[in-house]
Amino acid sequence: MGKVAVGAAVVCAATVCAAAALVVRHRMRCSGRWARAMAILREFEENCGTPIGKLRQVADAMTVEMHAGLASEGGSKLKMLISYVDNLPSGEENGLFYALDLGGTNFRVIRVLLGGKDGGVVKQEFEEVSIPPHLMTGSSDALFGFIATALANFVATESEGLHPSPGRQRELGFTFSFPVRQTSIASGNLIKWTKGFLIDDVVGQDVVGELTKAMERIGLDMRVSALVNDTIGTLAGGRYHNPDVIAAVILGTGTNAAYVERAQAIPKWHGLLPKSGEMVINMEWGNFRSSHLPLTEYDQDLDVESLNPGEQIFEKIISGMYLGEIVRRVLLKMAEEAAFFGDIVPPKLKIPFILRTPHMSAMHHDESSDLRVVGSKLKDILEIPHTSLKMRKAIVELCDIVATRGARLSAAGIVGIIKKLGRDTVKDGEKQKSVIAMDGGLYEHYSKFSTCMESTLKELLGEEVSDNIAVEQSNDGSGIGAALLAASHSQYLEVEES
């Protein structure tokens, strides 16, 4: 009996030891995986670094590229396009005007009644329309036909008192938020598509001509009196409300900037100098690139796999189209190389652009003690049902790294514009106010991004200068701004003035 008992005890002890060894091995394996996942995150954080010295280099590079782009066509990665807008709205515009705002996966049709000097914007109505995905890569006729039909349907809903004066053609400001080589205030040829659009037969064509043909085909009598992009529309809308507005920046699905330049500071301008002495420049700053930009392996891979490799590098690290995708790519590496989500890599995590920036923002802003928003987003979007609090905290940190880099680089870009205009210093006794009009969903809805951008702006400019620089949310610049520019370039303007 004694021998049996001893034998049983030995077997039990061996079993316990083996089980303990398995537990230890499992814990060691888990801690090894966690250490590897954290090493990936720390390396990414280091490569995304934006110390103040680097940001100053980015701002200086932006200023240098602006000068180069104004000097000659093709002289810079920044196109510095002449917009032919040499008179921004004065506040005295009146009458009924339309705007079409095409800048991403949705477009808006807008109707604005302007009341002159004291009336301001009397009434505005709009409708938002989603573009079916197949039209984004189809034909010109299909896309512009769809848009013209939506415009005609909207015109048909004009209520009493919202009709143009008898005998007058309806006039439209067309906000077209893609790179265009402008040939006049109401014509311009598409340089290239961005933001997921790829319709080859429009490239090189006059986009106003394409829209006009589509409107004529369905019998819609409407004249495009101003072709602008969303950034110039934002600048016009900002200036209408505040005469100190000098530039506009869009931070949304894509990103861009426009500003008011002295006509004499544009060497590539060969026409007569405008009476105002000013010209609005559409920078197309999404295409900015510099050796000082903190790019990572994830950014390089994203760029190579994109529709426009080598292009829009600045846009790909600061805009809403891409921030969530960068987070996904880092998480995928953590899953593949460190089994961050367990032994199996979640299949949904392998789908490009499945994690959108609004999802990232929701996780980043989660203030619940158990980070339940992070948990629910991972479950609903990536089908990852179980995550620990430790994992969720790491994901919030990842969102913070990506958003902070984007926000700080955006601020550096704005400082580049301020430097170009010579407004980065305070001159003796001068209190020259400079206002940047901002628009776009990323700036408006991702508050940690916009707060970080604004604090970085102050950090870069210093207290004294930043007292004279303000950033203002523009109230629908791309919609109302385009209608205002249609009004200030109306074919009936001279008739009214004479």
> Could you list the active site residues?
108, 177, 230
In 213-321, where do the E strands start and end? 222-228, 245-251, 255-262, 278-282
Alpha-carbon distance of 374 to 78, in angstroms, equals 38
Task: Give the count of alpha carbons within 13 A of 261, CB side only.
Answer: 31
Amino acid (1-letter code) at residue 196: G
Alpha-carbon distance of 301 to 304, in angstroms, equals 5
CA dihedral sign, ordered 62, 65, 70, 71: positive
Q: Name residue 367's beta-bridge partners.
A: none
- The helix/strand/coil state of 438 is strand
Distance of CA 391 to the CA centre of its chain: 29
- Residue 389 structure tokens: 């609090």
Q: How far apart are the first and last CA of the chain?
A: 122
What b/e sequence results for 196-210 when a residue is b if at least 16 CB atoms lie within 10 Å of its CB, and e otherwise?
Answer: bbebeebeeebbbeb
Alpha-carbon distance of 431 to 434, in angstroms, equals 10
* Nearest residue to 159 via CA among 201, 113, 105: 113
Task: Enumerate the H helices of 288-388 as residue ranges.
Answer: 297-304, 313-318, 323-338, 357-364, 372-382
**Cβ atoms of residues 56 and 292 within 8 Å:** no
Alpha-carbon distance of 61 to 457, in angstroms, equals 16
Q: What is the DSSP string of 100-142?
A: EEE-SSEEEEEEEEEEHHHH-EEEEEEEEEEPPGGGGGS-HHH
- DSSP letter (8 states) at residue 280: E
- Residue 493 structure tokens: 């303007």
**Cβ atoms of residues 489 and 185 within 8 Å:** yes
- Residue 337 structure tokens: 């190389």
301 contacts: CB under 8 Å, gap ≥ 6: 329
136 contacts: CB under 8 Å, gap ≥ 6: 105, 143, 196, 197, 198, 199
- Residue 108 structure tokens: 């808006």
